[in-house]
Amino acid sequence: MVKKRLIPCLDVRDGRTVKGIQFEGLRDAGDPVELAARYAREGADELVFLDITATNQRRQPLTELVRDIARVLDIPFTVGGGISTVADVEALLLNGADKVSINSAALARPEFISELARRFGSQCVVVAVDARLVEGEWQVMTRAGTTPTGREAVAWCREVAALGAGEILLTSMSHDGTKSGFAIDLTRAVCKAVTVPVIASGGAGQAADFIEVFEKSGADAALAASIFHFNETALPALKEYLFAHGISVRR
């Protein structure tokens, strides 16, 4: 049986880890290098780093910070934010990233997904999908969740998988930071629509939320930030809890 993965996420602004609610009201959560080292020690299965202002500021990702984080890791490392060219991806991989996460660039030019998959392999390409529930429909947002695209989330996930994405990072903006639990219906619909792994993101507030998303949606992994950053839930304890409830996790 494929084991479920637990993935802390470092949302980084101005060199610091931050976290808010529904992408707003950000507060400082600590030094990203120190947090990365801690999560590697505690048994995180992977780590995601998102440079959350790179796209809107129209700049490249923080490659020096990526390199510093990669040096303290011995787990798979995904980097996103501001990636728009093949050269951006090459720079991140050379500085220690194992995978890259693209969002706005994929929406602006979907063929970019296929270009990266051909150049680096699908296993290297994660497409991040930020979705917000609008009048009963899950709409895809872009530019750090600030701009609606008019695309329906499940249909977009199906398209990116067909274009060569190796994994989908699915975030419910409606749940992000609320600690009300993951968007089960959305995550389940996407998991049924694609054959690539899906990472559920947005809404984790307690250990039971992880059981629910794994049992009810079919997600391959669950990503969280604030409950880990602010020591509300420790990774080792969460893994023991999941294992005790029949969820197959790496221990």
pLDDT at 20: 57
pLDDT at 54: 61
Sorted by where each begins, the domain ranges of the chain are 5-244
Pairwise pLDDT comparison (125 vs 174), residue with the higher score = 125
> Which of 24-28, 76-80, 171-175 bottoms out in mean pLDDT, i.e. has the lowest?
24-28
> Which of 113-122, 186-195, 230-239 bottoms out in mean pLDDT, i.e. has the lowest?
230-239
Residue 19, pLDDT > 70, answer no
Task: Give mean pLDDT, residues 169-197.
Answer: 94
All residues at 6 or more sequence positions from 27 whose CB lies less than 8 Å from its CB, including other chains: 18, 19, 20
The verdict on whether 130 is a catalytic residue reads yes
Domain 5-244 has CATH 3.20.20.70: yes
pLDDT at 177: 75
Torsion angle of the four alpha carbons 210, 212, 218, 223, in this order, in degrees rounded to the nearest 10? -20
Catalytic one of 51, 130, 176, 209: 130
pLDDT at 90: 96
Q: Highest mean pLDDT range out of 24-38, 134-148, 228-242?
A: 228-242
**CA 36-40-100 angle, 5° bins:** 60
* Confidence band of 107 (pLDDT split at 50, 70, 90): very high
* Confidence band of 231 (pLDDT split at 50, 70, 90): confident
Catalytic one of 11, 88, 176, 220: 11
Mean pLDDT score across all residues of the chain: 91
pLDDT at 121: 98
Task: Give mean pLDDT, residues 50-67.
Answer: 74
Nearest partner of 42 among 212, 248, 229, 207, judged by Cα: 229
pLDDT digits (tens, 9 = 90+) for 109-163: 999 999 999 999 999 999 999 999 988 999 999 876 778 899 999 999 999 999 9
Tokens of 186: 């959305």
The verdict on whether 11 is a catalytic residue reads yes
Distance CA 119, CA 7 (A): 26
Residue 60, pLDDT > 80, answer no
Pairwise pLDDT comparison (234 vs 16), residue with the higher score = 234
| Cβ atoms within 10 Å, residue 150 | 6
pLDDT at 101: 97
Task: Give mean pLDDT, residues 82-101.
Answer: 96
> Which of 20-34, 95-109, 236-250 bottoms out in mean pLDDT, i.e. has the lowest?
20-34
Specify whether the CB–CB gap between 166 and 193 falls below 8 A: no
pLDDT at 226: 86
